[in-house]
Amino acid sequence: MIPTSFDYKKASSVEEALGMLGDDAQILGGGHSLIPALKLRLNAPGTLVDISKIDSLKVIRDNENSITIGAGVTHAEIAASDVLAQHCPMMGQAANAIGDIQVRNRGTIGGSIAHADPAADWPAVLLATDANVIIQGKNGKRTVDIDQFFKGFFETALEEGEIITTISIPKTAFNRNSTYVKFKQPASRFALVGCAAAVEMDGGSVKSARIGLTGVSEYAYRATGVENALAGKALNADTIASAVSGVTDSVDVMSDHYASEKYRSHLAHVFVKRALMNLSYSK
Amino acid sequence: MTKYIGKSVKRLEDKRFITGQGKYTDDIKLVNMAHAYILRSPYAHATINSIDTSEAKAMEGVVAIYTGADIPEAIAGVPCGWQVNFKNGDIMKEPPHPLLVRKKVRHVGDGVAIVIADSKAIAKDASELIDIDYDIHDAVTDPKAAAQAGAPLVHADVPSNTCFDWELGNPKEEVSAAMASAAHVTELEFANQRVVPNAIEPRSAIGHYDTAHDRYTLYTSTQNPHLTRLLMCAFVLGIPEHKVRVVGPDVGGGFGSKIFHYTEEALVTFFSKIVGRPIKWTADRSEAFLTDAHGRDHVTHAKMGFDADGKIVALQAYTYANMGAYLSTFAPAVPTYLHGTLLQGLYTTPKINVDVTATFTHTNAVDAYRGAGRPEATYLLERIIDLAALEMDMDPAELRLKNFIEPFDGVEQEGYVTQVALQYDSGNYAPVLNRALEMVGYEAFRKEQAAQSNGKLLGIGFSTYIEACGIAPSAVVGALGARAGLFESAQVTVQPTGKVSVYTGSHSHGQGHETTFAQVVADRMGIAIEDVEIIHGDSDRVAFGMGTYGSRSLAVGGSAIVKSVDKVLEKGAKIAAHLLEASPDDLDYADGKWTVRGTDKSVAFGDVSLTAYVPHNYPEGLEPGMDFSSFYDPTNFTYPFGAHVAIVEIDKETGAVKLKRFIAVDDVGNVINPMIVDGQIHGGLAQGIGQALHEGTVYDESGQLINGSYMDYCMPRADDLPSFEVDRTVTPCPHNPLGVKGAGEAGCIGSTPAVVNAVIDALWKGGFKVKDVPMPMTPERVWTAMQ
């Protein structure tokens, strides 16, 4: 449980951090995925650039049409945010379902999505929110639609030498009517299956729905088949049961000693159903 | 005279523990100390073609690197402390367990090289530069598969990987005949899965050779300092015992895994002389998963026969027990004398036969783990009787009550002689179950269960267990194969001022001995608890000891202390009589003073002790001083028992099991400190429930432990558990002076089958008539049982 030796650099601004990132350097945020990997020697960077003390990354901002969350905001801060509770309740629900208090006090949302663990909670939630990820590199800023962000197993749109600075959540009707449900892997308490659902209703029927799933496949994905099947329908047990049948179509479902492919696929159906049922009650 | 006994005195040791002042082995820093890292095999079964350490040795800060080739031939390895013979009388197969492997690795984690360096980080970095060429072979990890034809051999000279076969009880023909007469036979095949002990303090050892005195000190995180010294000196390194001091400082849990003598202890001791520096080794958590002796790992097939009234007529059990790749210190005793002997349970079963085959596999060693054999026996009995109740459509509580042995106190009534070689000391079994039924509200629960209709399944499970603690006497355990005595020693030194130092061979690794023993001594001597100090864990301070395991410390170690206290008081009475000019027979001792009966003439304990050390006015011919040692070798085991009841709720959609209530009524004999006993029960319950629902190793086909971390191996956590409902009955042990039986393992022994039975009950009542769901009962396994 001793890492190989590395240099440690603490940045006080994003620009300074970008300057410190060279070959063989990695970014240290809350460290809750990186430090264990270092201790197990699964990862051995030459330099760690600590961005956890950059104040500009630690702010939740309430804008006219969006809420912007700094990449360095902790899970606990998200759980405690009134503005998020009002505009996007699934954010707080997901934050409270991560790890334990110690983890929530240290771990950050930016770190989580940059790491892109296939069982992490945030990827599913951010897919459902229709978020934008703002990324800064030496050549300036760019914005990546969350639908284009997760690319594979621990793989994202983030390039070498770039830092996630902000996650922008639109203030929408579907985000105001959203929920996150999770079936925990008993040991790690990561998501064996996690489902974030956000639904905008128009009168008695679904106007639009966004459903994100984590833990099921090699990276989080949107259950677009379910979203489409719900459009224009009432949200009730029958329509939900019929819509969820396609939840694992077109993805490769993972298998491990806690959940075989068959069981994990079953759980995906159950938890999408439960998420949508939660929203049907709230109407 | 019970100012302290029976009271929940707060634990005296907790001040240092909860303020971070406990001192564990890894906290000890010696001058010029070097650090060791053990390079371990990444393969379960492989031949080493070559090892090249040259690059690693050249690294700055590396002191030395040794491999198996550097260990003298005379040092064969760590020994096994218990011998079991084959049915045909042959001695068990006992292949050597080398300190470092010479040619062949036999499990993932087998030690290949020791890297000694100025820091642990350097040692670890250097270990990555060691180049080893392995030929990888097929591995076997399952104890039953290991005995089958064609299984890869762990040791070339052990055919069928069979360490021994063994049987106990009535002849098989008699059991078969009784079984044939049964109106109903319940048959069950199951695994009692392998679990990892997971003490919170990883193992740690420091070897230090002192040139000036030609003497070694081994600091080690052990339950058993004296036995470690005996085994290491006499059977491994060939160093005379008086030249070795073994210190077990504060120990952060063990659950059995720190009873044993491990290779690392001998390595740091041996090489400390060679490199001329103290050497510290501390396991990291990954190493703990791979090398702390594991527990359980039985594969069992059992049959129980009942007559038309539900009386048990016969029990036949066949078990394959996994020993791992090498025999750990007490491994052979666990599936045999600690398991087969408990298959009478609380029942009058007239015919019992148990047949055990112990096999080697390409896995880490398996040895005693909280309960050691008794949980496996209890699991076997309690699973099969609950299943029989379901199959026969009888009430599981009534079926047990019908089969319980009648009460006996071991004084007026003889102890109960079992079909499997034991004589129970005292027992009164119906009250624990009746009390548990009352606490659970049994009838109301059954109504609630029948009415359940919300996508959940409710179930109730029972377990009524007996266990054997304080394993003894030495002559008997010797006859059963123990290569050690199982007594305990205690020295009570009264200081001139009347303060008392107690040196005990028991060694707490979390049990609260410093409090419980002090309560016993203070009450027996009529002095304040603050005037008593309990000293343990150091072979230079405590003359001899057998350590702490098997719930033996109070029953055996406490009794040894009582013997020495009684010797002190007997001598004190002679001195007091002299001072009071009376006969010792005319004195009463109470509240710390001797009084001449019928008078107000008295002398205090402190005045007597001072007189013993300043013997100016002193009985003629009496030696000065007040210092007595005793060895206590009990006449029998003690037999605690109890009734555990679990209530679970299954989510039909996911298979997730929620433990809603857990009721435990235990009888551990007399209780010295109820709070500590409750704590022991609570911890044991969590561990037993953990085995039922969460814990268990997973090996892949190549023999890799694929859940060797807390991210993958699920330990029970507070939010997995309900608030326990516990109570006790008291049936004193008739054969030790305190009437105590032992409480350390009870929770872990009784709870596992109660939880599993509750899940099975829920499934049956929900229409899913499955005989077994393998432990740990993960959501997927329970869900699969409903498909």
Percentages of chain A per state (helix, strand, coil), in multiples of 5:
35, 30, 35
A40 touches chain B (CB under 8 A): yes
| pLDDT tens for each residue of A233-260 | 999 999 999 999 999 988 999 999 999 9
Q: Taking residues B151-179, what's their average pLDDT? A: 98
- The residues near B171 (Cβ < 8 Å, ≥ 6 apart) are B353
Residue B658 and residue B720 in contact, taking contact as beta carbons nearer than 8 Å: no
| pLDDT tens for each residue of A156-211 | 999 999 999 999 999 999 999 999 999 999 999 999 999 999 999 998 999 999 99
Residue A197: other Cβ atoms inside 10 A = 32
| pLDDT tens for each residue of B283-313 | 999 999 999 999 999 999 999 999 999 999 9
Delimit the CATH 3.30.465.10 region(s) of chain A. Answer: 55-170
Contact between A187 and B713 using a beta-carbon 8 Å cutoff: yes
- pLDDT exceeds cutoff 80 at B602: yes
The CB-side HSE value for A241 (13 A sphere, CA atoms) comes to 3
Residue A188: other Cβ atoms inside 10 A = 18
**Nearest-CA distance A259 → chain B (Å):** 6
Find tokens 């027996």 and name the residue.
B524
A149 touches chain B (CB under 8 A): no
Delimit the CATH 3.30.390.50 region(s) of chain A. Answer: 173-282
Percentages of chain B per state (helix, strand, coil), in multiples of 5:
30, 25, 45
A259 touches chain B (CB under 8 A): yes
Q: Edge-to-edge strand order for the sheet containing A140-145?
A: A60-62, A66-70, A163-170, A132-137, A140-145
Closest alpha carbon to A88 in A13, A198, A12, A214: A198
pLDDT at residue B759, rounded to an integer: 98
A257 touches chain B (CB under 8 A): yes
Mean pLDDT of chain B: 97
Question: Rounded to the nearest 5°, which phi and psi values hold at B210?
Answer: -100, 105
pLDDT at residue A209, rounded to an integer: 97
Nearest to A263 among B698, B707, B783 (CB): B783
Residues of B in contact with A2 (CB under 8 A): 120-121, 124, 284
**Nearest-CA distance B780 → chain A (Å):** 6
- The residues near B612 (Cβ < 8 Å, ≥ 6 apart) are B494, B496, B571, B572, B575, B624, B625, B626
> Would you identify the CATH topology of the domain A173-282?
Enolase-like; domain 1 (3.30.390)
Which H or E run includes A103? helix A101-106
| Correct CATH for A7-50 of 3.40.50.620, 3.30.43.10, 3.30.2010.20, 3.90.25.10 | 3.30.43.10
| pLDDT tens for each residue of A24-66 | 999 999 999 999 999 999 999 999 999 999 999 999 999 999 9
Nearest to B694 among A1, A186, A263 (CB): A186
| pLDDT tens for each residue of B45-88 | 999 999 999 999 999 999 999 999 999 999 999 999 999 999 99
Contact between A270 and B653 using a beta-carbon 8 Å cutoff: yes
**Nearest-CA distance A264 → chain B (Å):** 9
Please, what are the domains in chain B? 15-20+30-137+198-291 (3.90.1170.50), 295-471+636-785 (3.30.365.10), 487-632 (3.30.365.10)
Q: Edge-to-edge strand order for the sheet containing B184-195?
A: B162-169, B352-360, B312-324, B295-306, B184-195
- pLDDT exceeds cutoff 60 at B1: no
Interface test with A, best of B711, B715, B784, B786 (most A CBs within 10 A): B711
**Nearest-CA distance A40 → chain B (Å):** 9
| Correct CATH for A55-170 of 3.30.479.10, 3.40.50.1360, 3.30.465.10, 3.40.630.30 | 3.30.465.10
pLDDT at residue A41, rounded to an integer: 93
Q: Taking residues B776-780, what's their average pLDDT? A: 98
Q: How far apart are CA B665 and CA B437, in angstroms?
A: 10
Residues of A in contact with B698 (CB under 8 A): 257
Residue A260 and residue B710 in contact, taking contact as beta carbons nearer than 8 Å: no
Q: CA of B652: which chain A residue's CA is closest? A: A270
A42 touches chain B (CB under 8 A): no
Contact between A186 and B714 using a beta-carbon 8 Å cutoff: yes
pLDDT at residue B470, rounded to an integer: 87
| pLDDT tens for each residue of B452-502 | 888 999 999 999 999 999 887 888 888 889 888 889 999 999 999 999 999
pLDDT at residue A250, rounded to an integer: 85
Closest alpha carbon to B255 in B218, B292, B284: B292
**Nearest-CA distance A157 → chain B (Å):** 27
**Nearest-CA distance B188 → chain A (Å):** 24
Residues of B in contact with A188 (CB under 8 A): 710-712
Written as one letter, the residue type at A166 is T
Residues of A in contact with B128 (CB under 8 A): 41
**Nearest-CA distance A23 → chain B (Å):** 22
Nearest to B707 among A4, A5, A257 (CB): A257
Contact between A263 and B784 using a beta-carbon 8 Å cutoff: yes
- pLDDT exceeds cutoff 70 at B539: yes
Closest alpha carbon to B286 in A72, A174, A36, A112: A36
DSSP secondary structure letter of residue B466: E
Helix (H, G, I), strand (E, B) or coil at B25: helix
E-strand ranges in chain A read 7-10, 25-28, 47-50, 60-62, 66-70, 132-137, 140-145, 150-152, 155-156, 163-170, 178-184, 191-202, 205-214, 221-222
Residues of B in contact with A187 (CB under 8 A): 694, 707, 710-715
Q: Taking residues A73-90, what's their average pLDDT? A: 98
Contact between A1 and B654 using a beta-carbon 8 Å cutoff: no
Residue B753 and residue B190 in contact, taking contact as beta carbons nearer than 8 Å: no
Q: How far apart are CA B468 and CA B552, in angstroms?
A: 10
| pLDDT tens for each residue of B425-442 | 999 999 999 999 999 999
Q: CA of A268: which chain B residue's CA is closest? A: B654
Segment A229-236 long-range contacts (CB within 8 Å, at least 24 positions apart) = A230/A199, A230/A206, A230/A276, A231/A206, A231/A207, A232/A205, A232/A206, A233/A205, A233/A206, A234/A204, A234/A205, A234/A206, A235/A199, A235/A201, A235/A205, A235/A206, A235/A276, A235/A279, A235/A280, A235/A283, A236/A280
Contact between A263 and B780 using a beta-carbon 8 Å cutoff: yes
Say how many CB pairs under 8 Å bridge A and B.
46
Nearest to A267 among B120, B654, B713 (CB): B654
pLDDT at residue A23, rounded to an integer: 84
Higher pLDDT, A250 or B142: B142
Nearest to A2 among B124, B713, B784 (CB): B124
pLDDT at residue A1, rounded to an integer: 81
B125 touches chain A (CB under 8 A): yes
Rounded percentage of chain B residues whose pLDDT exceeds 90: 97
What ipTM did this prediction achieve? 0.96
pLDDT at residue A282, rounded to an integer: 67
Q: CA of A185: which chain B residue's CA is closest? A: B712
Residues of A in contact with B711 (CB under 8 A): 36, 187-188
Helix (H, G, I), strand (E, B) or coil at A211: strand
Contact between B783 and A266 using a beta-carbon 8 Å cutoff: yes
The CB-side HSE value for B192 (13 A sphere, CA atoms) comes to 33
DSSP B298-363: EEEEEEEEE-TTS-EEEEEEEEEEEEESS--TTGGGTTTTTTGGGTTTTB--S-EEEEEEEEE-SS
| Interface list for A 185-204 with B (CB within 8 A) | 186-188
A102 touches chain B (CB under 8 A): no
Question: Rounded to the nearest 5°, which phi and psi values hold at A99?
Answer: 45, -135
The length of chain B, given as a count of residues: 787
Burial class of residue B447, CB neighbours in 10 A (0-12, 13-18, 19+)? exposed
Q: Are strands A155-156 and A66-70 parallel, antiparallel or unpaired?
A: unpaired
Helix (H, G, I), strand (E, B) or coil at A173: helix
Q: How far apart are CA A122 and CA A144, in angstroms?
A: 16
Residue B405 and residue B348 in contact, taking contact as beta carbons nearer than 8 Å: yes
Delimit the CATH 3.30.43.10 region(s) of chain A. Answer: 7-50
> Nearest 5°: CA angle at B737, between B733 and B740?
40
Q: CA of A183: which chain B residue's CA is closest? A: B654
Contact between A270 and B710 using a beta-carbon 8 Å cutoff: no
